[in-house]
Amino acid sequence: MLLIRCPYCGERAEVEFSNGGEAHIDRPRDPMSLTDEEWAQYLYMRDNPKGLIAERWRHAHGCNRFFNAIRDTRTDRFVVTYEIGQPRPEVTPEQAAEAAR
Amino acid sequence: MERFSALSLARKALGGHLGWKPQWRSVEQPKKAYDIIIVGGGGHGLGAAYYLAKQHGLRNIAVIERGWLAGGNTARNTTIIRSNYLFDESSSYYEHSLKLWENLSQELNYNVMFSQRGCLMVAHTVHDVQVFKRHVHANRLNGIDNEWLSAEEAKEFCPPLNISPNIRYPVLGASLQRRAGTARHDAVAWGFARAASDMGVDIIENCEVTGINRGPDGAVTGVETTKGTVNAKKVAVSAAGHSSVVLEMAGIRLPLQSNPLQALVSEPVKPAFPTIVMSNTIHAYISQSDKGEMVIGAGTDSYVSYTQRGGLHIPAETLAAICELFPMFRRLRMMRSWGGITDNTPDRSPITAKTSVPGLYVNCGWGTGGFKATPGAANLFAWTIAKNEPHPINAPFTIERFRDGVMIDEAAAAAVAH
């Protein structure tokens, strides 16, 4: 079970959270102007990286707030969790190496 | 290829089982070029090579595998085979596969231990009852066997089942596909490998594809691997949980999320469980292997991961359900658990199709239920590669269905149990 640091509540067990999929996907401002291809990209096509991923989590059995996290999908180690609305933080090579360990 | 028969087995037995030869050629170094490269040496990839050679007369083929033969999801699933899917598109795909399973041991001259012991899908709520009855009717309209059993009839078919009204989610009935069953996962891969190798297919293990090469016109020219460049006009990717990683090398983005799916087996016991039982609602599914272990499928971890393991709370939840449904297993000890990386599409249906890159084909998105489709998917993937167009059965299973909105929504049948 993962230990996840909620930016609002601190470290909690994974069972308190639900995963919200890829982070930083903005709903198109004007959906009607999109082509089918662009709409499909928005709705269905996802980054599925073997390595660092930016993803959303919701502290469902806690503060119930969404936040974002960067995690290495090869090890499931978190690099950082951060509040919704913040840009994706830069990951230093040291942090990346630690997460890949 | 040395053919197996009662006589050949008896002869080897009398000879003290000395003199068995390797069942397929081990190819260390790939040739410079092939007609077709298949990326991924699991059941689907090896099967595709077999059918390309057998049915389409194409024999200059390499199967390139990053690890060892059939060491990924082929070795990690719970070997359930059934075809009782809801929609016409899926049921005809899975039924095509089930029909191939029924003759696979004879066709390959290799015992894949296909055992049609039936698959009981247990209903616990009014909604379950309605959904499963709908499946039964849809299947029967498509000529696929599936029948509805009352709780008592289900218990008669599977005596360990607890149909007491006093449990948290009482059993209200079940659907039963009698032709469903299990098979020996390794034997399927080995059988395909042996038959394909015999027809000239090169199987190269411990060789990772690191890039997909394309010519000035955009068409595929081959792959880069850890054992050097290998050229081919057609590259077919059958890489399960790693499909996104491989196709990204050609700039293709897929509607896939890779999640760990866990399974576990108990200590081996005497034959005690006659069938396969699946419960989507309380999430349990179980069958007994020929070795005697209870093979139990747990759930999917919710996050993207390539770790081939998952959280312990996932199998713990499944075991709670197993103990309630089958109280006699409460003191059974679990021996091993593991995870496989499943590639899940938004509609829980697979993709077996051409891609936007000429010469590049993909068979992926089998999610949590690819094993049952092994011969069917291999057979239709081979057709698609050989003819450069899909077979009518797999024609709906494109990547473009997500753009065009013609999804095959099998979430009800496939999102949980396999």
pLDDT at B414: 47
Tens digit of each residue's pLDDT (9 = 90 or more) over A61-88 = 999 999 999 999 999 999 999 999 999 9
Q: Could you give the residue ranges of the DSSP H alpha helices within A1-91?
A: 36-43
Smallest Cβ–Cβ distance between B304 and the set A1, A2, A73 belongs to A73
From chain A, the residues in CB contact with B343 under 8 A are: 48
DSSP lists the bridge partners of residue B296 as B264, B286
Q: Is the pLDDT of residue B412 over 70?
A: no
Cα distance between residue A45 and residue B66, in whole Å: 25
Residues of each domain in chain B carrying CATH 3.50.50.60: 27-79+185-255+347-404
User: In Å, how far are B52, B77, B243, B244 from B258, measured between CA atoms?
Assistant: 28, 15, 9, 8
Which residues in chain B are closer than 8 Å to A36, comparing Cβ atoms? Answer: 403-405
In angstroms, the CA B331 to CA B7 distance is 43
pLDDT of amino acid B416: 52
| Residue ranges covered by each domain of chain A | 3-100
Question: Which CATH number describes the domain made up of B27-79+185-255+347-404?
Answer: 3.50.50.60
Give me the amino acid identity at B341: I
Question: What is the per-residue pLDDT for B26?
Answer: 86
* Pairing relationship of beta strands B234-237 and B360-364 according to DSSP bridges: parallel
Residue B376: name the closest of B51, B60, B39, B36 by CA: B51
What are the CA-CA distances from residue B155 to residues B146, B151, B152, B193 (Å)? Answer: 17, 6, 5, 40
pLDDT at B102: 98
Q: State pLDDT tens for residues B280-329.
A: 999 999 999 999 999 999 999 999 999 999 999 999 999 999 999 999 99
CB contact under 8 A, A76 and B302: no
Instruction: Find the mean pLDDT for residues B393-402.
Output: 97
pLDDT band at residue B415, thresholds of 50, 70 and 90? very low
Bridge partners, residue B260, by sequence:
B341
- Mean pLDDT in residue range B402-409: 94
Q: Is the pLDDT of residue B247 over 80?
A: yes
Tell me where in chain B the CATH 3.30.9.10 domain(s) lie.
116-181+257-344
What number does CATH give the domain A3-100?
3.30.2270.10
Tell me, what's the pLDDT at B413?
A: 53
- pTM attached to this predicted model: 0.96
B382 pLDDT above the threshold of 90: yes
Mean predicted lDDT score pLDDT of chain B: 95
Which residues of chain B does A45 touch, with a Cβ-Cβ cutoff of 8 Å? 253-255, 402
Specify the pLDDT at position B301.
93
- The DSSP element (H or E) to which B407 belongs, if any, is none
Residues 77-96 of A with CB under 8 A from B: none
CB contact under 8 A, A73 and B307: yes
3-class state of residue B117 by DSSP: coil
Find the CB nearest B307 among A18, A47, A75: A75
pLDDT of the residue at B411: 77
| Bridge pairing between strands B276-279 and B119-123 | parallel
Q: Tell me the pLDDT tens digit for each residue of A41-51.
A: 999 999 999 99
The two structure tokens encoding residue A78: 């978190």
For residue B172, what pLDDT is reported? 98
pLDDT at B418 over 50: no
| Closest CA of chain A from B252, distance in Å | 10
Going by pLDDT thresholds of 50, 70 and 90, the confidence category of residue A29 is: very high
Contact B382, B51 (CB under 8 A): yes
Q: What one-character-per-residue DSSP string does B349-372 give?
A: --EEEE-SSTTEEEEE--TT--GG
Report the pLDDT value the prediction gives residue B417, as an integer from 0 to 100.
46
Instruction: Please give the ipTM for the structure prediction.
Output: 0.95
Domain formed by B116-181+257-344, architecture: 2-Layer Sandwich (3.30)
